Chains A and B, each alone.
Chain A
Amino acid sequence: MNWKIFLITVTAIIIITVALFAGPRLINPFVMNDTEKEILLSIRLPRVIVSILMGAALGASGAVLQGILRNPLADPYILGISSGASLTAAMGIISGITLFGIVTIPVFAFAGALCTGVFVGAMGWKRGGFWPDRLLLAGVGLGFLFSSILMLIMSISSTEGLRRAMLWIFGDLSLADWSVIPYGSLFIAAGLSISMLRAKSLNALILGDELSHSLGFSPRKERFILFLCVSLMTAASVSLGGMIGFIGLLIPHMARFVTGSDNRILIPVSAIGGGAILCIADLIGKSVLSPTELPAGIITAIIGAPYFLYLLRRKDVLSN
């Protein structure tokens, strides 16, 4: 097992290094002029860090969410958090408000995501605890509502911000800069470390609340804490660079094939894998039609959708 984790980590480091130096303009790390140094430090490095943070948050959130909802098809966006974030971010972009300077849109998105998380949590709460099915249905219902309002706003809007809002919704990393990294790291690191510390209780939750109780955990408390972690990580991720589809669904399943389903290994491996895959997706997005950039979210969806269909064909993954 250890050599598999080592191999995954080394592969991720190689991918991240390639993403840093490759792209529309290839940079030789051993011979760099001032312009290339500037590109590397001001554009590429923050963009790669944001990709790692977002991918790690989504990969780990997917693994945790599939566990607390006991549903292998759950992904962080199923809770409607991303739709809430997209709605508030798009409203901010289209209205042109710059209340918090350069971080206005991330702040709007984070606020929208958190409010949605709280609302979904309240809807999923019954008899002193979260009910997985209620959480899931509340998230799906609210997601549809927010998406519809977003479509409505975008269809009646004719401002310049419309294209930017569209790009942001599809996961655009081109606006990544150092300013958003500190707070993004804080929330994602907090959510990730708490999730990893509670990986045993997540394993037990997957067996059902009664067995989890028998094994010495409080399923209601554990589900609540893990839901908070997922909400924080997803909110931070969406606010950093918009919606990146399929990483939350795809990566935990890929990780399970390699390392098994034990969340003590699955959560960190999903985080590493998520970060690396998003770096590749962003590299592809900015390279294939250069100088035009494709949002990374579109690339992950193009890779993720066929995999999703493949999963549907695998009975042992999706059903009993």
Chain B
Amino acid sequence: MSSATENTILEFRDVCFSYDNSRVLIDQINLSVSNGEFIGLLGANGSGKSTILKLASGILKQARGIIYLWGKPVHSYRNRDRAKLLSYLPQVLDISIPFTVREVVSMGLYPYDIMPPLSTDEALEMVGLSVKADSVITNLSGGERRRVYIAMTLLQGAGLVLLDEPLANLDIRYQMELLRLLKELRAKRGITTIMALHDINIALQFDRLMVIKEGKIIGTGTSDEIVQQDLLKKAFDIDIEIKREETGGVYIKY
């Protein structure tokens, strides 16, 4: 059993990971996530954000250390039981079989024998795709397809939602709407979100940020604490200028 507080739903303890004993991708990570948190994983491409999410969801198995999900090792759950607690949306989503939008979204109900709190129509409504419910997914744009999968992930009704760069392909309107929706779900149902991203402007929307570089967490804290010139220069290896205005606005220049 995990020794973390009662409110902790996910905990990494000294977790390391590499594929076939090659380059270490995750290096002794320790983290803990409390119920209802809205967390952003910030880092450059290849920094290890996706690997952390895959380890948390049980897709990958850590080489060392232990990962607790609601106090139990993540790999000790039956697949179906885990799916009721945690849902994961990967970064790469490709499909070549012509399912309809409704068919894909309703797969979010698969872990259940009884009806979960949300219906397929409600999930479609949430992502603004009700009118395309009977369209074939292979005919949709990249952004629309991503919203279909987001609806499926939400329909799954898990308490912990792991999203790997879900804002890619979405226009600004849907980026903002997704963030608003996730915050609303937290307020109404206490859903915890961990999202991998690399857009610093979007990162300002999160309660807590973790900055990842070369498989290590190099900073964790609120957006005010994390969106700092030196830390982000180190994380992204670029020149970056950050100015905070008295009105509370943040000016970021790359």
Interface, chain A (partner B; CB < 8 A):
66-67, 70-72, 200, 203-204, 206-211, 213-218, 256, 260-262, 316-320
The CA-CA distance from A194 to B97 in the complex, in Å, is 21
Name which of B81-89, B114-122, B180-188 contacts chain A.
Answer: B81-89
Give the contact-size bracket for chain B: 35 or more
Give the total number of A-B pairs whose CB atoms are below 8 A apart. 97
Check A215 against B156 for contact (C-beta < 8 Å).
Answer: yes
Question: In the assembled complex, which residues on chain A have CB atoms less than 8 Å from the CB atom of B149?
Answer: 207, 211
The CA-CA distance from A255 to B100 in the complex, in Å, is 14
Check B103 against A215 for contact (C-beta < 8 Å).
Answer: no
* Contact (A260, B80) CB under 8 Å given A208-B93, A316-B138: no
Residue in B103, B108, B139 whose CB lies within 8 Å of A316? B139
List 27 A-B pairs, Cβ < 8 Å.
A66-B97, A67-B97, A72-B98, A203-B99, A203-B110, A206-B97, A207-B95, A207-B107, A210-B57, A211-B89, A213-B59, A213-B79, A214-B57, A214-B89, A215-B83, A215-B110, A215-B156, A216-B79, A218-B79, A256-B98, A260-B100, A261-B103, A262-B99, A262-B103, A316-B98, A316-B136, A320-B95
Question: In the assembled complex, which residues on chain B have CB atoms less than 8 Å from the CB atom of A217?
Answer: 79, 110
Check A214 against B87 for contact (C-beta < 8 Å).
Answer: yes
* Contact (A261, B58) CB under 8 Å given A204-B110, A215-B108: no
Check A208 against B94 for contact (C-beta < 8 Å).
Answer: yes
Interface flag for B90 (CB, 8 Å): yes
B92, B94, B96, B153: most-surrounded residue (chain A CB, <10 A): B96
Interface flag for B128 (CB, 8 Å): no
- Knowing that A213-B59, A216-B83 touch, tell me 14 more A-B residue pairs with CB under 8 angstroms: A70-B96, A72-B98, A206-B97, A207-B104, A209-B59, A210-B59, A211-B149, A213-B57, A213-B79, A214-B57, A217-B110, A262-B103, A316-B139, A317-B138
User: A111 CB to closest chain B CB, in angstroms?
Assistant: 33
* Contact (A206, B58) CB under 8 Å given A213-B79, A214-B89, A216-B80: no
Question: In the assembled complex, which residues on chain B have CB atoms less than 8 Å from the CB atom of A320?
Answer: 94-96, 138
User: A218 CB to closest chain B CB, in angstroms?
Assistant: 6
The CA-CA distance from A123 to B90 in the complex, in Å, is 27
The CA-CA distance from A204 to B108 in the complex, in Å, is 10
